[in-house]
Chains A and B, each alone.
Chain A
């Protein structure tokens, strides 16, 4: 039976129960390769499929999922979702959208055919490890790999929605462990592309090695207040940790500290933040959200003022605004909201201004999942990077912590650089931002 037929049968059962619903079906295939000591350490081939159903009956929402696709399991899927709905509180704002759109991404753009053989991918994985391991002082390459994955999502609803997206991502990554005397360090990075030929393993190896070598002799610096620039990998992570500040759902739940600050100055006037899901250069490209609402560009902070939260249809209904196309829902998850592809407008500062005087460039933060409180904005992270002066590195820095309040930090933006950079995963594009007076403990 085809996927579309299975979906129709499931939704027919939902309708027959007097409910409405939508169904997400995710399918994927992936290849993952890792090398160790010149041989392949991991070779993983996977195929997956999962059905995720949301039903709404009498304004109560229930969800269920099944990885088993036999008739009995899919019948149980509907029954379980309806049963779960019967326990839920009435949620007048959550509805299945009246949306009979037919949406489909372009495979040629997002999931291009690639005839690279498995042997070529294995050769790449082995070459990355071998080239990095051959560099001076490299003890080993504990984390490395090549991945090729294709994911496909279909969304159907009882109101006639049929949406399909498919995307391919090829990645390679490498981390080098370097030892010299009693010092050691491990650093690395990755690359992402739609096509195999777009990967540049030599550049990956050289950057991973150089990053590790540069930080090897790092030492703590005296505790105090420093101007800090988070690099292009760290800055998106920091915004992601505190992305709840844009969440309409958290606002509805009463835990978003920005809930009542629309239109207010919450950041330095130099800061403009947008979510740009239709930027096809990024891997956060999204044609439609988890409810099937077409995605759209959205300005979140305009010259320091909070201009919008992100909404799905439920939070939009609650706040009496339209969905911004930021609904998130996976087969296993309930309706939420989430950013697609965060971008910060370039500023006006050139490198000379940005790098004037003494400042700390942070290239790595640890404890991001445990050292932050998105409700209060407070954070305390382990950090490493470089103490710099007038654009030149003075010393590598390790074994320090940076601490502060993210929401206060947004008001202490000294300068914003004039060039935007993608992070390696191409999920966010931001310029360098120099924050003033961050607490550093060494």
Chain B
């Protein structure tokens, strides 16, 4: 996408300003997004994202800029403005580029630059809508979305790196709205992955519609949620957002290097109940959070974060490695050329255990079963987090009693990790978008159903 001679000229210019490291991140992405409202196409949108990110490093200082233009003079102008306060004699010379194409671990066939497959995607969303509305006449409406992206990147840096990659993302979502004339409630189901529209061979629109409708109907009948401290059983799949928020963000060197993470000095220590082992794996074939190489050009890895409760690794990008001394883990990620890379999660999950679901429920006198989780957020400095329960049930005397609504779970990362006492066998992953310092990147969360012995539940009852 960028001429090698031009890249060499610009990076050489960056080094001539005295930078220790210079990098160009070139991106051209195609996007296509289809939205439906019940059985009608609401919109089809498409776009071209194009830009070049410029990173200069002077010691521990990171200078970053971007432009939509490709002229060498514009790239050098950005570099000049960035380095204006740091000009010094050149420290290093550029290494000759050694092009390496990444090994393609995530094959994609029906990609956007070949065909947007609008008719097929619309048919999928229509089938999901039909299934949802067929399940009950209380389903008043559905909203469908199918989004596909083809991101092509090219990276050059002053250490001689020159590599390219293509990432193909696709995600289809249906939200069902149930209404009884007085109240409305929603349910949602989503499938996605790092592949092309061939995903339609793996997903079932009827299941999507049925599941979205089922959740909406459950929530429509839900009662107010009890509040207070109590045990909570958290469902598999997207329930893994608890680990993502409570722990994953705190293991990114973006927070660790600043000592803004409560875990920054806990390497090798027990930070979780020994029932907990956790992984961040970027290599899982065609999974939503996977990558071939990270956004700094390093081949990605499977990183064991916690083993039997003990902290074994952080998520480390290039800058984080320099700041903390830990080895890079292929975790440097960014939403686009508009962001400098930072250490980020990929497919992050608690590994399966041996507990039985029924044993978890029967062990609780008064508590909550959070079957489906929504999003959440965490304050890395203190580890305080919150996340929403989107499908919940009240447990009493060891039995699930009735659905509850509008519940939030509040705790801190260190506290909740020590309260996970039982981990089940029904492991699964789910798609999400994770927003942080380097933008929103696709990540998977996951876990088997697990039990937290004590956590604050915010409800209205």
Contact = CB atoms under 8 A, between A and B. Distances in A.
Interface in A21-57: 36, 39-50
A379 B49 contact: no
Nearest to A90: B40
B410 A64 contact: no
B243 interface: no
Contacts of A378: 405-406, 460
Given A39-B60, A89-B41, A184-B381, A382 B46 contact: no
B41 A177 contact: no
Contacts of A68: 28, 48, 50, 68
Contacts of A398: 384
A65 B45 CA distance: 8
A63 interface: yes
Q: Interface of chain A, helix or strand or loop or mixed? A: strand
Contacts of A253: 37, 141
B382 interface: yes
B88 interface: no
B46 A47 contact: no
Interface residues of A, number: 76
6 contacts: A118-B85, A175-B381, A186-B381, A376-B406, A382-B458, A403-B408
B343 interface: no
Interface stretch (A3-11, A192-200, A283-291, A362-370): A362-370
Contacts of B227: 223, 401, 403, 439, 441
Nearest to A27: B68
Interface string A410-442: 000000000000000000000000000001011
A140 B258 contact: yes
Interface string B104-124: 000000000000001100100
Top 9 A-B residue pairs of the complex, sorted by shortest distance between their CB atoms = A401-B458, A441-B227, A370-B375, A382-B386, A142-B260, A367-B386, A380-B408, A45-B65, A378-B406
A357 interface: no
B63 A43 contact: yes
Interface of B: 28, 34, 37, 40-51, 59-69, 74, 78, 81-82, 84-85, 118-119, 122, 140-141, 177, 183-186, 225, 227-228, 255, 258-260, 262, 338, 340, 374-377, 379-382, 384-388, 405-408, 410, 456-460
Max count, chain B CB within 10 A of own CB: residue among A73, A77, A382: A382
A186 B379 contact: yes
B456 A399 contact: yes
A244 B459 CA distance: 23
B408 A67 contact: no
B184 A380 contact: no
Contacts of B456: 220, 399-401, 441-442
Contacts of A442: 228, 456
Contacts of A380: 225, 388, 406-408, 458-460
A403 to B, nearest CB: 5
Contacts of A67: 47-51, 68
A398 B380 CA distance: 16
B76 to A, nearest CB: 12
A254 B141 contact: yes
B459 A441 contact: yes
Nearest to A439: B460
A251 B66 CA distance: 40
Given A87-B118, A403-B460, A47 B228 contact: no
Contacts of A332: 45, 47
A400 B457 CA distance: 9
B460 A404 contact: yes
Contacts of B74: 47
Contact of A370 (B377, B382, B405): B377
A41 B405 CA distance: 43
A380 to B, nearest CB: 4
Contacts of A381: 386, 408, 458
B85 A403 contact: no
A63 B34 CA distance: 11
A84 B186 contact: no
A370 B68 contact: no
Contact of A185 (B122, B382, B408): B382
Nearest to A254: B141
A63 B43 contact: yes
A184 B383 CA distance: 10
A224 to B, nearest CB: 10
Interface string A74-107: 0011001100110111000000000000000000
A61 interface: yes
Nearest to A379: B406
A254 B181 CA distance: 12
A358 to B, nearest CB: 19
Contacts of A405: 460
Given A84-B44, A89-B41, A375 B62 contact: no
Contact of A76 (B48, B64, B81, B338): B48
A64 B406 contact: no
Contacts of B460: 378, 380, 403-405, 439
Given A140-B258, A367-B387, A80 B46 contact: yes
A142 B48 contact: no
B459 A403 contact: yes
A150 interface: no
A228 interface: no
A420 B407 CA distance: 32
A255 B68 contact: no
A112 interface: no
Given A69-B68, A439-B227, 4 more contacts: A48-B51, A88-B44, A184-B381, A381-B458
A238 interface: no
Nearest to B51: A67
